[in-house]
Amino acid sequence: MFDRKKWPIGWFDAFILLLLFGLAFLPSDDQTHKKIILGVIAIIQLLEGPLIAKLPGRGRVYSVALKTYFATLLLAHTGEVGINSTYYPIYYLPVITAAVYFGPWATLAWTAVSSLAYSSFLIPALLAGLELGAEGETILAIRILFFFLAAMLVNRFAMDNRRQVQRYRELSERLEETNRQLQRAEADARRSERLAALGQLSAGLAHEIRNPLGVIKGSAEMLQQKVQGAEPLAAELAGYISAEVNRLNALVARFLDFARPSHLDLHPQSVCDLIDRSLESVRAQLPDSKVRVERHYAAVPEILADEHLCERIFVNLIQNAFQAMDESHAGREEVLYISVAPETSGGRPGVGIVIEDTGPGVPPEAREQIFNPFFTTKKDGVGLGLAIVAKIVDDHRGSIKLENDSHPGARFRIFLPAAPRNS
């Protein structure tokens, strides 16, 4: 069965070749030269597509120039006087080629070149004693004007087609971007539903756990006081109970932070100042860390944010990065890169923050769940840190994502909207 895709020549090129071969085998005074020249023009037409694909800029120029040259050569070998050759319409080939590939001004220029090439045959004709006359001048003018008329008509349709193709391309790009935004919105909606359900569960569970924890802690402290001198072992065990109850209380507090609705105290804030204070806080918590920090701050607008909650975003991300790099340290220098720059998302001006480390990164299988509550890759983690970060960012009408990259570390990109000018 015939497979059109495997055929090396398209139907249009095949038709052009058929016409050129038909011209080649029409009887004339100089059969050999005419066949060779038309054969060369056919080869140029056949190789035009691959040439332009390989050399998009120069390939079009080469094609039109070669067609003009061999059209002129054909007229020189057909008929006694080239200006009267019946093959003069061969100039339509370079003229229309230019109209298809170039803009209006370049098309006019190439048409003028072809017209000059054709008119150049007047010089030897006049030197040979040919009298052009008024009728001859009219015929020559009509032929040249038809060159320009054909060129501009074809160029108009070609330009309309290019504009239509460009509109389709832009529409396709917009549709692709819209589709990506819909996918992100669906993922955010699913995450919000999971967060809402788990938040309600966490709130109820945390309240139920907090009361018995208070009883246990109070009982342990009383027991520790009573047996402090008489039974040191019992007092030590009571101290362990009290310490573990404090740890559970802290965990319950984090559950409640995640579950309860946020009440934002919004004020214009400098993102760079928030990040600097967060870095100082993490350095104080991890004084032995050898991680080097590189900061790249551009001039950015202020954001309308809750200072305390936004600091928690950066503290959590920076602390995670420090811990990951300290644990994976293998003799090389670990670096945390923080960049701040103006950014626009969904038509909203704001600030883009990138926090990137040189640690082991996040496993591919965990990337989709990294912001889900109770999901963690740490042995002693609870899985609420990044979930709370995502919740705070969402409450500020921003966005956070873990970018996929060949870089071995983790790279988080955060967008926070700019504060209104009158805030």
| Shared-domain flag, residues 383 and 243 | no
Residue 175 lies in a domain: no
Asked whether residue 112 carries a pLDDT value surpassing 80, the answer given is yes
**Which DSSP string corresponds to 166-235?**
HHHHHHHHHHHHHHHHHHHHHHHHHHHHHHHHHHHHHHHHHHHHHHHHHHHHHHHHHHHHHTTTT-HHHH
pLDDT digits (tens, 9 = 90+) for 193-225: 766 676 666 666 666 776 777 777 777 777 777
Instruction: Say if residue 312 is in the same domain as residue 410.
Output: yes
Of 204, 225, 259, the domain-final residue: 259
User: How many CA atoms lie less than 13 Å away from 275 in the CB half-sphere?
Assistant: 23
Residues 253 and 280 in one domain: no
- The residue segments making up the domain with residue 208 are 188-259
pLDDT-above-90 percentage for the chain: 21
Helix axes 58-76, 31-54, angle to 10 degrees: 170
> Which helix or strand (DSSP H or E) is residue 138 part of?
helix 133-226
Contact 405, 411 (CB under 8 A): yes
Name the phi and psi angles at 94, rounded to 5: -65, -35
pLDDT in tens, 148-167: 999 999 999 999 998 998 99
In a shared domain, residues 235 and 282:
no
pTM higher than the cut 0.85: no
* H-state helical runs in 227-306: 232-259, 271-285
Summarize pLDDT for 2-15 with one digit per residue, the tens. Answer: 444 454 566 666 77
Q: Which residues, in sequence order, are CB contacts of 412 under 8 Å at separation 6+?
A: 317, 354, 355, 356, 400, 401, 402, 403
The larger pLDDT score, comparing residue 232 to residue 268, is at 268
Residue type present at position 416: L
Q: What is the pLDDT of residue 7?
A: 47
Number of domains in the chain: 3
Residue 373, pLDDT > 50, answer yes
Q: What is the rounded distance in angstroms from the CA atom of residue 14 to the CA atom of residue 174?
A: 37
In a shared domain, residues 62 and 24: yes
Domain boundary among 91, 110, 131: 131
Across the chain, mean pLDDT equals 81
Summarize pLDDT for 260-279 with one digit per residue, the tens: 656 778 889 999 999 999 99
Strand (E) or helix (H) holding 417: strand 411-417
Task: Dump pLDDT digits (tens) for 22-80.
Answer: 776 666 655 677 788 888 888 888 888 888 888 888 888 998 999 999 888 888 887 66
